[in-house]
Structure 1
Amino acid sequence: MTSPERIGPYRIERLLGTGSFATVWLGHDPVLDSRVAIKVLAENWHHDLRVRERFLDEARLLRRLDDERLIRVHAAGELADGRPYSVMAWADGGSLHDRLAAGPMPPTAALALLTEIAAGVAVLHRHGVVHRDLTPGNVLFRSGADGERVLIADLGLAKALAAASGLTARAGTPGYMAPEQDDPLAVVDTRADVYGLGRLGLRLLGADAERVAGDQPHPGGAVRLRQGVPPQVAAVLRRATAPRPVDRYPDATAFRAALRSAATAPTRAGPVPSGRAAAPPPRSFAGGPARAGDRRPGRRRFGAVALGVAAVFAVGTTAGDAATAGWDAGTGTSGPLTVRLPPGWQATGTGWAGRYGPDGRLEPALVMSPDPHRWAADPTVPGAFVGLSASIAARTSPAGFVAERVHTACAALPVRRIRQAGVDWVVARFTCDRGRPEVVEAAGLAPGRAGLVYVQITPPAGSRADFVDTLLAGVTVS
């Protein structure tokens, strides 16, 4: 990877790290004469609406919280190619992942560190946010005049608690991810972060610490601690990692209090019993799955989880108000996909970015819009993405895939099912407070063994009520 000389006004010194969705560079702020970390959205994702949403939401959230226990965001910008970036404080002490790679910490230091991590997560919980991806790589260290500070980073999967229940896509890191995060209709709240804290505790303090990553504990199994760790800590970690959320501590504050109490309690003779905590904590959150049409308080809005959707774009013309009148503007094709175009729209596309078929080629996809160049980045431009994927069909159903496609700051209307052109579509509609006023997500199985057809639509302003159904009727697979 070639290092850029500058990103905005910042001179780039070196690469700090790369991930699935972003690259982080070490830069120099010439105004403040200080080093900063600059996180840039990955090139192959910058046309994906949801990935852009998630990237920008993380920067906005960290800027809004602006707490000394969290990575701080100083500014944001956009590269010449349209990719967003955020400028953050540089954690010069590296990550917990780096330190664990060098060997285990002394038990006393590990206990103190886990307590500090819980304090940082408690900041999120007090502000009504659940992190959902607590791992050693997301715990950073920054030096200062008062010593080293522990920072919680990477809030790309974080969600507001009011948005965290129902229609939640699988998100998190195996080994640290709570079991309910693997269920698209489960409630995901602060107790998911308690689970992550418990797993971090096992990594720091457990006798089998090296087996935590990529491994899930057996329900009711014993917690074996390293020599020198107070044995009462085992009961705290066991309760924190209980398979059922109701059996865990309600939030990071309660977990931290229990951990501190166990760390200072007199040592008891005899082994620590295994099994689930005897007395489950009170349930402070709703316990059933929230559906897209659920309008009860606290369940109305949904957060964003991203999967790869992109295509190569081409130019078009301007859309008119009569969007569904006389759809005779021609068709667009990508492999076996054919779409009928609304008036004033054009289609282009060479494939679904980041998604490959069994032959190693990009799976077919295209974008249709009055101006495909601007559709992904400009919320005022209507358009649609259409893709066909055998790999998605192999892992989930149309309903399951639509459940993954949720949007920040949007209200979800009831999911409906329609049949158009031989395809049974699952359709979810979102009305949004910012950005695009309306987004529609639809998926169905193509006839035969072709795969799952996915369509994301941002209808034109003032279009007729049947615009979405008419567009879906024009999607065919040969």
Structure 2
Amino acid sequence: MRTPARIGPYRIERLLGAGSFATVWLGHDPVLDSHVAIKVLAENWSHDLRVRERFLDEARLLRRLDHPRLIRVHAVGELPDGRPYAVLAWADGGSLRDRLATGPLPVAEALTLLGEIAAGVAVLHRHRVVHRDLTPGNVLFASGPTAERVLVADLGLAKALAAASGLTARAGTPGYMAPEQDDPLAVVDTRSDVFGLGRLGLRLLADPDGGPGPAPRWRPGVPAAVPAVLRRATAVRPADRYLDADAFRAALRRAASPADADDRYPSDPAPPAGPRADSAEGVEHRADPPSTDSTAPATRSRRGPARLVGRAGAGALALVALGALAGDAGRPGPGGTRATSGPLSVALPAGWRATGTGWAGQYGDDGRLEPALIVAADPDRWAADPGVPGAFVGLSADAARRTTPEGFVAERPHADCVAAPLRRSRQAGVDWVVARYACPAGRPVLVEAAGLAAGRDALLYVQIAPPPGGGTEFVDALLAGVRVRATGD
């Protein structure tokens, strides 16, 4: 790979690293007389608009958060060939991957470091962002005036929780990504990052020569209560993990050093009072505080399911491909073919097919996924192509216990879109609450609808990207085709 002489105004000194999507160079800022890291989108991805937008999203996100626990962005630019680049703060201490390559860290240092990494991830979670790729290579170190700082980097796979549905393309690093990230229908939320933190803890604290077997052998000096924290963090079911990085960090703090936990893990100041989660900034709020007891059995999250919807332009929506329909050509209606998932069924317009048998991330009392369906003319295209309209239909008893249809719809704002007044529609015995959004980019119209299923203590949720010209009549016809068998039928 040829080293460029300059990128923008920066003189390039050497290559820092190269990955599948980007190359990072060490540059020199002549104005400030300081070093910077310059991340350039790989040439083979420069014409993929989705990858290009993801690359720029990372820079925008880091610039907006601008936190000392996260790698900072100074500027963005574009090469003469059109490839974007981001100018980042240089982490002169290298990465955790580099340090582990020379041997394990002392246990006390590893515990402190894991707490610091969790604190950085907690900054993301407080702003409703999921990293999704926590690995030793994405933990960096930078010199500070009094002490070395630990930085969380490489948010190229991160999404605001409003857009962090697993119904996007899978993403993550094997060995560190949560099981649900390998499922194209999975919902990815803060608990996926908790899994990554747990795996980092295993890498730092387990004996690398422990031999085969599912149970790791812990290094001498690991406090007795810490393995239980890491087991819970890496549970297969998201519902069995800690709610977020803050909860994980608190449990680790108590388990690692109960006597001087507050000194070992100094708390970050609380974020300033700001807008609620239904605002444009999307700051997180909770119905009640998370459980952080590492010894108590895991309880079902009271925050509710991660949002399946988000920025219209991101293409990360829990939607289905209904086909490019116009007028009444694809209107759902009574009779005809129906698709089913457990007690849930949906009327299919001619030519449509269905996929999906469970609502990823939503578990019933029996521990199984609650029913859901994706119906589409081309189910293979709907998730990746924002030009394809569609709908997702789910049934959740857990959601009905947690909130109302009005509350469920309110949890799913679209910050970049303009909302029409909320309306109600009674279809097939269900009183639906319906919100419609007009969006400036990506999918032009999005509809969120929720209602209580007749004869069942369960909430019905439908998200729709209507076909061109598909107005209120189309939406109501689709809702009228949703049926749920009553309990005991």
- Give the TM-score, by structure 1 length: 0.60
C-alpha distance in structure 2 between counterparts of 1:209 and 1:158, whole Å: 33
Pair 184,108 (structure 1): closer, same or farther in 2 beyond 3 Å: same
Question: Which of 242, 245, 251 matches 2:244?
Answer: 251
The residue aligned with 1:108 is 108
CA contact (8 A) 2:39 2:87 kept: yes
Amino acid at match of 1:196: G
Q: Which residue of 1 aligns with 2:135?
A: 135
Distance 1:84 1:4, change over 3 A: same
Q: CA deviation at 1:45?
A: 0.8
Corresponding letter in the other structure for 1:255? F
Q: Which residue of 1 aligns with 2:408?
A: none
The answer to whether the Cα contact below 8 Å between 2:194 and 2:233 also exists between their aligned partners in 1 is yes
* 1:99 counterpart residue number: 99
Residue of structure 2 equivalent to 1:230: 223
SS where residue 87 of structure 2 aligns? strand
CA distance in 1, matches of 2:383, 2:150: 35
1:169 paired residue number:
169
Q: What are the Cα deviations for residues 436-471 of structure 1, in whole angstroms up to 9, with x where unaligned?
A: 6759xxxxxxxxxxxxxxxxxxxxxxxx869xxxxx
Provide the aligned length of Structure 1 versus Structure 2. 314
**1:14-29 → structure 2 map (5 Å cutoff):** 14-29=14-29
Cα separation, 2, equivalents of 1:30 and 1:283:
51
The alignment partner of 2:243 has SS state of: coil
Q: CA contact under 8 A between 1:73 and 1:88: conserved in structure 2?
A: yes
Q: Supply the AA of the counterpart residue of 1:286.
A: G
State the 1:432 CA deviation: 8.3
Aligned to 1:341: none
Instruction: Give CA deviations for 1:224-260 in whole Å, capped at 9, x if unaligned.
Output: 3111110110000000000001100000001001001
Equivalent position amino acid for 1:112 in 2? T
CA distance in 2, matches of 1:201, 1:78: 38
1:186–1:286 distance in 2 versus 1, CA, 3 Å: farther
Distance 1:199 1:406, change over 3 A: farther
Please state whether the residue corresponding to 2:165 is helix, strand or coil.
coil
Answer whether contact 1:62 1:71 (CA < 8 A) is retained.
yes
The aligned runs of 1:293-308 (5 Å cut-off) are: 299-301=309-311, 304=314
Structure 1: runs of 5 or more not aligned: 212-216, 267-275, 291-298, 307-323, 325-396, 417-429, 440-463, 467-478
The answer (yes or no) to whether the contact 1:41–1:83 under 8 Å persists in 2 is: yes
Counterpart CA distance in 2 for 1:93 and 1:36 is: 13
Structure 1 residue 398 displacement after superposition: 5.9
Pairwise mapping of residues 317-356 of structure 1 onto structure 2 (< 5 A)? none
Structure 1 residue 14, shift from structure 2 partner? 0.6
Aligned partner of 1:85 in structure 2 is 85
Letter matched to residue 125 of structure 1: H
Is 1:414 the counterpart of 2:432? The answer is no
For residues 29-44 of structure 1, the aligned pairs below 5 Å read 29-44=29-44
- Classify 1:436/1:239 alpha carbon distance in 2 versus 1 (closer, same or farther; 3 Å): closer
CA distance in 1, matches of 2:209, 2:57: 33
Q: 1:200 & 1:184 partners in 2: Cα distance?
A: 24
Question: Following TM superposition, by how much is the alpha carbon of 1:285 offset from its aligned partner in structure 2, in angstroms?
Answer: 3.9
1:243–1:109: structure 2 CA closer, same or farther, 3 Å change rule?
same
Divergent runs of 4+, >6 A: none
Letter aligned with residue 34 of structure 2: S
Distance change (3 Å), C-alpha of 1:303 and 1:195: farther
How has the CA–CA distance of structure 1 residues 237 and 66 changed in structure 2, closer, same or farther, with 3 Å as cutoff?
same
**Cα pair distance change 1:438/1:11, threshold 3 Å:** farther
Q: Name the CA distance, whole Å, in 2 between partners of 1:398 and 1:190.
A: 30
Counterparts of 1:277-426 in structure 2, within 5 Å, are 279-287=297-305, 290=308, 299-301=309-311, 304=314, 399-400=379-380, 402-405=382-385, 413-415=389-391
Q: For the Cα contact (< 8 Å) 1:79–1:85, is it kept in 2?
A: yes
| Matched residue SS, 1:403 | coil
SS of structure 1 residue aligned to 2:379: helix
Deviations 1:282-333 (A, max 9, x none): 413434894xxxxxxxx35468589xxxxxxxxxxxxxxxxx9xxxxxxxxx
The yes-or-no answer on 1:240 pairing with 2:233 is: yes
Q: Which amino acid aligns with 2:235?
A: A
Say which SS state the counterpart of residue 77 (structure 2) adopts. strand
Contact 2:189 2:306 in 1 (8 A): no
What is the rounded CA distance, in whole Å, between the counterparts of 1:210 and 1:184 in structure 2?
33
Secondary structure of the corresponding residue to residue 17 of structure 2: strand
Amino acid of the structure 2 residue aligned with 1:172: G
> Which residue is equivalent to 1:178?
178
Q: Tell me if the contact between 2:313 and 2:386 (Cα under 8 Å) persists in the aligned partners.
A: yes
Q: Distance in 2 between matches of 1:202 and 1:406?
A: 39
User: 1:42-81 to 2 correspondence within 5 Å?
Assistant: 42-81=42-81
Letter in 1 for 2:217: R
Deviation at 1:28, TM superposition (A): 0.5
Q: 1:288 to 1:42 in 2, by over 3 A?
A: closer
Distance 1:300 1:242 in 2: 27
Q: Deviations over 1:25-58 (max 9, x none)?
A: 0001111110000000111111101010100000
Task: Return the alpha-carbon distance in structure 1 between the equivalents of residues 158 and 121 of structure 2.
Answer: 11
Question: Contact 2:315–2:442 at 8 Å: present in 1 too?
Answer: no
Gap change, CA 1:210 and 1:89, over 3 Å in 2 = farther
Residue 144 of structure 1 and its aligned partner are, at CA, apart by 1.4
- Listed as ranges, the gaps of 5+ residues in structure 2 are 260-293, 317-325, 327-376, 393-416, 418-436, 446-467, 471-489
Look up the equivalent residue of 2:390 and give its one-letter code: P
- Kindly tell me: are residues 402 and 123 of structure 1, through their superposed partners in 2, closer, same or farther at Cα, counting changes over 3 Å? same
Q: Is the 8 A contact 2:169 2:384 kept in 1?
A: yes
Secondary structure of the residue aligned to 2:35 is strand
The equivalent residue for 1:263 is 256
